[in-house]
Structure 1
Amino acid sequence: MKEPIKTILHTVDHRPWSIPNHSWFWYQEWNDAIFLHYQVDGKRLRELVPRHLELDQFDGEHWVSVVAFTMDKVHPRFTFPIEFLSTFHEVNLRTYVTRDGKPGVYFLSIEAEKILPTLFARLASGLPYKHSPISRTNKTYSVHGKRCEIGIDFLTKDKIDSPTPKELWLTERYSLYRGKNPDETAMDVHHKPWELFQVEFMKLNLRYAAYDGLGNFGNPNVCHYSPGVQVLAWL
């Protein structure tokens, strides 16, 4: 069930800092999300992340995550979604960074299903969007792109009623960094906490050619499924 915007804006106890004091600009939904989390080598990761961003760590460990989901109902405030632009499948490879003590995510790559939304998202956000053929059903995900090959077939299992500190550290992130400008500030986002479920994989084939040696993408250390979140984003 979709929540009213007012309810989302007033659900803030889980956030590590206050939401921005000016109006949000974007509405979007991140639905049917698969999270694959990998512990990786910090030295190799440092080569891939701009130096003005500090690598975030959990108990001294460095992590990257592959997140596959459907982006839905994307539109600016006071407008409405347009189906062929506002809904598309996406897969991103992200890592965890901080700047001036504010934790967030940095995207190593983002694959998107449709050409026009890919171009628009890259121009509007400055994030590394690239078009790739993506197909999915409720429980499968397939990507055949220049940067990655992914095949996922999974079952949703029990709900995780009490996520561990590591699971929360990996999923509850409320700022994005583009990494292009040493003077950049974070792009803030807000949503209610992720509802997480355990998953069982019937098939998991995953390869990022550009990131060989970063980690074993065939064997995630932690994984989750979530039905999704409604997201508000600020410029």
Structure 2
Amino acid sequence: MAAEAITPSTPRPVRWSTLAQWWRDVTFAHWPVAPARVAGLLPPGTRPDTLDGVTYVGLVPFRMHRVRLPVEPGVPYFRTFCETNVRLYSVDGAGRRGVVFRSLDAARLVPALVGRLGARLPYTWSRMRLHRRGDVITYTCVRRWPRSRGVSGRLVVRVGRPIAEPTPLEHFLTARWGLHVPWRGRALYLPNEHPPWPLRRAELLHVDETLIAAAGLPAPVGPPVSVLHSPGVPVRFGPPVRTG
């Protein structure tokens, strides 16, 4: 089946929320990669999602905020922390576009363990920091567990003007309404919903990272083709759906 249309708002509203959170101070940095190079890294039943024959690897640092389950108010220590993910883009047999996380570095050990053991997501525990001075934001990450010697990242961006209408590529990289997760030889689709991203242009001032190569992907060559920033959105996740 052909991939669904790319829309700025979710095509599948979440009726029953299983998890709620905010994604704050989000930066999206992306590099192109050949679909054949990453096809074997995706869950069964999914394929690389492409735009004009190209797919992308994303490095996305941000601040997780107000994380909570529907039945509890949340513990402050676990509710807000820095996170960085390395991600690919996927589409399943039903045409649902999604994200595949190759790694997720989190600054809190317990959420990392819950995500790793409960949702089978490749979470790691890392020492992380987000520092903002005016329009310049610095994200740092040094992996702690599982032990991966020398795996770290530092990204510095200057946040620019708001984007009135994102380009097709900017929509493709940000308008994602779920993720594909490997589960017992197949893929599960975890839907989410949030308001349209309020996006801004961003200038990359510095990047020094080994997170992408550690995730089994080719190390980026040259600057990213797209750097965006968003102050953030509230997010709700729904129950998982089998892909086939």
- Determine if the TM-score, normalized by the shorter chain, exceeds 0.5: yes
**The 10-residue stretch of structure 1 (205-214 or 27-36) with the greater mean CA deviation from structure 2:** 205-214
**The 10-residue stretch of structure 1 (28-37 or 197-206) with the greater mean CA deviation from structure 2:** 197-206
**Corresponding position of 2:235:** 231
**Corresponding position of 1:174:** 177
- For 1:145-164, what aligned pairs fall within 5 Å after superposition? 145=143, 146=148, 148-164=151-167
**Corresponding position of 1:142:** 140
Query: Which residue among 77, 84, 101 is the counterpart of 2:77?
Result: 84
**Corresponding position of 2:4:** none
Report the CA distance between 1:36 and its aligned residue: 0.5
Inter-CA distance 136–15: structure 2 relative to 1 (3 Å threshold): closer
Is contact 2:57–2:86 with CA below 8 Å preserved after alignment?
yes
Report the CA distance between 1:201 and its aligned residue: 2.5
Query: Which residue among 105, 115, 122 is the counterpart of 1:121?
Result: 115
Report the CA distance between 1:213 and its aligned residue: 6.1
**The 10-residue stretch of structure 1 (202-211 or 39-48) with the greater mean CA deviation from structure 2:** 202-211
> Counterpart of 1:127 in structure 2: which amino acid?
L
Inter-CA distance 68–217: structure 2 relative to 1 (3 Å threshold): farther
- For 1:20-169, what aligned pairs fall within 5 Å after superposition? 20=14, 22-99=15-92, 100-138=94-132, 139-145=137-143, 146=148, 148-169=151-172
Is contact 1:40–1:215 with CA below 8 Å preserved after alignment?
no
SS in 2 for 1:179: strand
Cα distance in 2 between the residues matched to 1:211 and 1:123: 18
Is contact 1:37–1:221 with CA below 8 Å preserved after alignment?
yes
Inter-CA distance 213–71: structure 2 relative to 1 (3 Å threshold): closer
> Counterpart of 1:104 in structure 2: which amino acid?
G
Indicate the RMSD between aligned Cα atoms, in angstroms: 1.9
**The 10-residue stretch of structure 1 (97-106 or 76-85) with the greater mean CA deviation from structure 2:** 76-85
Q: Which runs of 5+ in 1 are unaligned?
A: 1-12
Report the CA distance between 1:150 and its aligned residue: 1.0
Report the CA distance between 1:176 and its aligned residue: 0.8
Cα distance in 2 between the residues matched to 1:63 and 1:233: 24
Q: What whole-Å deviation, never above 9, does each CA across 1:113-145 have from its counterpart, x for those lacking one?
A: 111121122233221111111122121111122
Cα distance in 2 between the residues matched to 1:51 and 1:148: 27
Structure 1 runs of 4+ aligned residues shifted over 6 Å read none
**Corresponding position of 2:3:** none
> Counterpart of 2:68 in structure 1: which amino acid?
H
Cα distance in 2 between the residues matched to 1:232 and 1:60: 31
Q: What whole-Å deviation, never above 9, does each CA across 1:41-91 have from its counterpart, x for those lacking one?
A: 222212322342111101110111111001111101142121111111100
Whichever structure has more strand as a proportion of its residues is 2
Cα distance in 1 between the residues matched to 2:38 and 2:108: 29
Report the CA distance between 1:202 and its aligned residue: 2.5
Inter-CA distance 62–14: structure 2 relative to 1 (3 Å threshold): closer
Report the CA distance between 1:15 and its aligned residue: 3.1
Aligned-residue sequence identity (percent) comes to: 28
- TM normalised by structure 2 equals 0.84
Cα distance in 1 between the residues matched to 2:123 and 2:223: 25
